[in-house]
Structure 1
């Protein structure tokens, strides 16, 4: 096949325009249905009773599939940030600049159009409550990406799920109760307040991501339970971890039930589309339909998720669709169902799934879905998966990917390999590299900017509390030669009131901190001791790998004038009393002029 012909073939099979255009369906009469988009964090395809797991019961989530449409082969990316970017933009995450899950690499590029922006422009009220994981500082913050209201944490994981430190539209606040319940409470309140106008509610839960914390009422169902369905592979299943994960999923199910009840109470079921999915495969070796791989893997078990869509009296009930689909399809599908035209700066990779919702026998052209993470790329067709090592599997009868067919079907393997290489050349090779995008500070349209330890670099004796940076803090600051730095770009001149979230023992009172950016500088003395113990372990159902946390408190460092431009933000301690300077969780900048 000539190169030009190959390119045309590959573009045809990969691009979103390969499908037939959506046909009008007389059932769809509502012009602007409400949207509730619910996403679990680290829940596997197998973590539902709907999919055959007898270890747990998830009647409320199952009901979304039973009373709506279930996609049996729905694909996301292997980890959190890229899946969220795809859901929000309808484009493969590699094309949008996502290359990591922390320290800025989780952000997708400016200029990408989000689903929230599209619905907001169409007159919807928009809100997101939960784990964002696509950028903390404006213009990457959810409030800058189309969401009118945001409550939760913008980082990748959190260290405590009971009454944790959170944010509300950039302002630091205290959570109330168990986090998943608290997020749902905010969602219910949003539905109540906007019941008479169209709304778009995004609920990205933080569970069952570790740390494995869950209220007693749910844990008690599992702590002494014998698991009837277990992981099939040679790797050892951490049984206690599995029990905690399943208990967390049952808690999500309870909260989904609360949402369903609210829609019934307000008579909104017939005017509300509800979607449920997860962001990647399971976060541990547990029963997952005998698929190969878990979170982090581009194999089937790492990227297949449940996907249910319900719209009472509009979408048929109890339909199961076998056509492959993915997170990139959510934006065009919801816009189509809501009769909203999509205008984006960049071409969307996803397709409109609406025709399948009403007629599974509709003519549907072959397509390829791509899974990619940290240099490993796998592609999925309706029948086959080519893994990152170019091994070929028939996924109709070999979900466990045990029988490599590449030697038997070399031409098919080679054609899929060409598709993969072409996609990589068009996407991965043009992605953002670490260091190209600094941390942004002081967007003129937003009051608050958080600069957390997560995004900083420790120097000297200073240590991060854990190798996983997302919910970490800096400690062991023992020398006046030490410093913490952030690669920062100030977006507009201004004066900023700065608060430090810190802990400090009594003997370190009087230590002096110095914050500088370019020629601007302020100094402040630590005048109040606050030395709480590490916490989190008292709620953990299974030992964690992430950092424990503390109850950090704010202290005003003063006001600093920052000039637009890129430079290094530095925090130093020119005078240290006692054994060490304060532990540092984050800096909060508040624009005051």
Structure 2
């Protein structure tokens, strides 16, 4: 057994290769806590790395995490974004936590769920998240209320512009600086520098390669005229080129973070974890697996998973046992030696025995994957798909030859397990989703954002796109029209109100009312602000989601909000032109 000694200030840290724990005790100085860096990418498939054999790109910095650390061969996430995040944060299946969708409030993680960030925060870690949250925008669903001291990024499911877009910093709207993935990484690097002498948790959920397919020329140009190898059925080469360019940009940013750790001499005291939230967001090279994002087949839910902890975790080890996002929370607790007994049982289990032991006693288990009323399950050797087809994943990793007729007993056993799991989840979800209004004024929250995404349009008002996450309201032309939000005011009091709007010169002058119960504040559109739609000039392929605009902030005054549940409404009082305004966001700021 190798033993290395590292002197950090007044504390000796003994790092033992292949040992059971992360650090030893010093009788006088207590326990040294390792730093934690978790990098989660958005819509990057298992095959979007040179590590996994993709011939079309190079990702040396990400690959090195698997080469210097460990990699899991069969690591499973959910078919889409917010469920994976919920499972990672809680160690429990996403439906248990009320996460049933990706927008309209269905992405919010129940408040009676505990995140590993909250536990680490209570253990003395300084915690920061930089990127796409996607588990609730308003406090107490906001990341600042779920264990993160610092948050910079966006809480929605996707964003409409990746070049200096509007973001938020701890709930307050701010303007981004440069290409979004680079900006998020820079903020994470700054947080590491600022907290280098403290144990820190950095969660870096990057937004790429999720659409819109925007990436700087530096990364796209090498792909623009490149002939792709191994095209698959249904592949759009232009989309693939943009996605792979975004992945190479991710790789560059991973290199930046790792270089910062080395510069600060923190690499050997930092546990680094890297994975993606679902399968690829298009048909492209993915090792021949069936399915892509949104599918519960293998290709939709298998993710790369690397873990590096130099001097502690074995180097270059490939772990064949199945694992998943539900295992991250219990694994962290076990690796860090934190004694934590959850109020609600984990669905995942600690992977520590697999990490450190060559011949760990490990029972086979079932990992369930669910989306859009479709459930599949995976054992070590078999996959039962949502239609009841059984596949031997060792002999048939591409799911081409169903074998349920030749294995009726196993099929019946797994089908029964799937039915029982679905019934259990349905019962939990039914209870979780009752009375989930959008919250305003939670304790500890100075700002509450109420985006168009969470509202309902009435009359002629329309949403700018059928995908609500980064949409705005338009076509507000009548006194009969309205926009409403179902809300719950947690702390009553006075709030300053700010609207983010656009309106052409010829239509200024409309008056409107924002009302909750008996209380209201009136406003008037006095300044023209009519920027063009944008996004198409930077899109490498045509997007499905809404284009965006540069919305202007309008201060409209103060309103008193009574405690309790009610309908927040926005109506017009007078419309001298053809419309009132286009609306993206309302921000409430506590004044008392």
Fold shared, TM-score > 0.5 on shorter chain: yes
Residues 32 and 339, structure 1, Cα contact 8 Å, conserved in 2: no
Q: Deviations over 1:513-541 (max 9, x none)?
A: 10000111110111111000000111101
Is residue 428 of structure 1 aligned with residue 426 of structure 2? Answer: yes
Question: Which residue in the other structure is 1:21 paired with?
Answer: none
Q: Alignment partner of 1:49: what SS?
A: coil
Separation in 2, partners of 1:98, 1:65:
31
Q: Alignment partner of 2:62: what SS?
A: helix
From 241, 244, 247, the equivalent of 2:245 is 247
Question: Which residue in the other structure is 2:151 paired with?
Answer: 150
The 5 A counterparts of 1:198-277 are 198-231=199-232, 233=233, 236-277=234-275
Is residue 139 of structure 1 aligned with residue 111 of structure 2? Answer: no
From 282, 287, 291, the equivalent of 1:289 is 287
Question: Which residue in the other structure is 2:481 paired with?
Answer: 482
Provide structure 2 residue ranges, at least 5 long, that are not aligned to the other structure.
Answer: 1-17, 25-31
Is residue 64 of structure 1 aligned with residue 62 of structure 2? Answer: no
Q: Post-superposition shift, 1:434? A: 5.9
Q: Deviations over 1:231-275 (max 9, x none)?
A: 2x4xx2111000000000000000000011001100001100000
Residues 293 and 300, structure 2, Cα contact 8 Å, conserved in 1: yes
Q: Deviations over 1:1-25 (max 9, x none)?
A: xxxxxxxxxxxxxxxxxxxxxxx93
Is residue 190 of structure 1 aligned with residue 188 of structure 2? Answer: no
Question: Which residue in the other structure is 1:181 paired with?
Answer: 182
Q: Post-superposition shift, 1:335? A: 1.7
Residues 135 and 141, structure 1, Cα contact 8 Å, conserved in 2: yes
Is residue 372 of structure 1 aligned with residue 373 of structure 2? Answer: no
TM-score by length of 2: 0.95
Q: Alignment partner of 2:288: what SS?
A: coil
Question: Which residue in the other structure is 1:454 paired with?
Answer: 453
Question: Which residue in the other structure is 2:128 paired with?
Answer: 127
Residues 20 and 356, structure 2, Cα contact 8 Å, conserved in 1: no
Is residue 113 of structure 1 aligned with residue 114 of structure 2? Answer: yes
The 5 A counterparts of 1:17-28 are 25=19, 28=22
Q: Deviations over 1:16-37 (max 9, x none)?
A: xxxxxxxx93573254110000
Q: Post-superposition shift, 1:208? A: 0.1
Separation in 1, partners of 2:576, 2:287:
58
Quick check: 133-142 or 390-399, which moved more?
390-399
Residues 98 and 433, structure 2, Cα contact 8 Å, conserved in 1: no
Residues 321 and 360, structure 1, Cα contact 8 Å, conserved in 2: no
Residues 501 and 585, structure 1, Cα contact 8 Å, conserved in 2: yes
TM-score by length of 1: 0.94
Is residue 549 of structure 1 aligned with residue 581 of structure 2? Answer: no
Q: Post-superposition shift, 1:323? A: 0.2
Separation in 2, partners of 1:93, 1:37:
19
Separation in 1, partners of 2:358, 2:275:
20
Residues 508 and 581, structure 1, Cα contact 8 Å, conserved in 2: yes
From 412, 436, 443, the equivalent of 2:410 is 412
Is residue 29 of structure 1 aligned with residue 30 of structure 2? Answer: no
Where do 4+ consecutive residues of structure 1 move more than 6 Å?
none
Question: Which residue in the other structure is 2:93 paired with?
Answer: 92
Question: Which residue in the other structure is 2:333 paired with?
Answer: 335
Residues 72 and 306, structure 1, Cα contact 8 Å, conserved in 2: yes
Question: Which residue in the other structure is 1:7 paired with?
Answer: none
Q: Post-superposition shift, 1:479? A: 0.6
Q: Post-superposition shift, 1:108? A: 1.3
Question: Which residue in the other structure is 1:17 paired with?
Answer: none
Q: Alignment partner of 1:200: what SS?
A: strand
Separation in 2, partners of 1:472, 1:401:
38
Residues 111 and 345, structure 1, Cα contact 8 Å, conserved in 2: no
From 303, 320, 323, the equivalent of 1:322 is 320
Q: Post-superposition shift, 1:344? A: 2.5
Q: Post-superposition shift, 1:429? A: 3.0
Q: Alignment partner of 2:415: what SS?
A: helix
Residues 112 and 344, structure 1, Cα contact 8 Å, conserved in 2: no
Q: Once superposed, what is the RMSD of the aligned Cα atoms?
A: 1.2
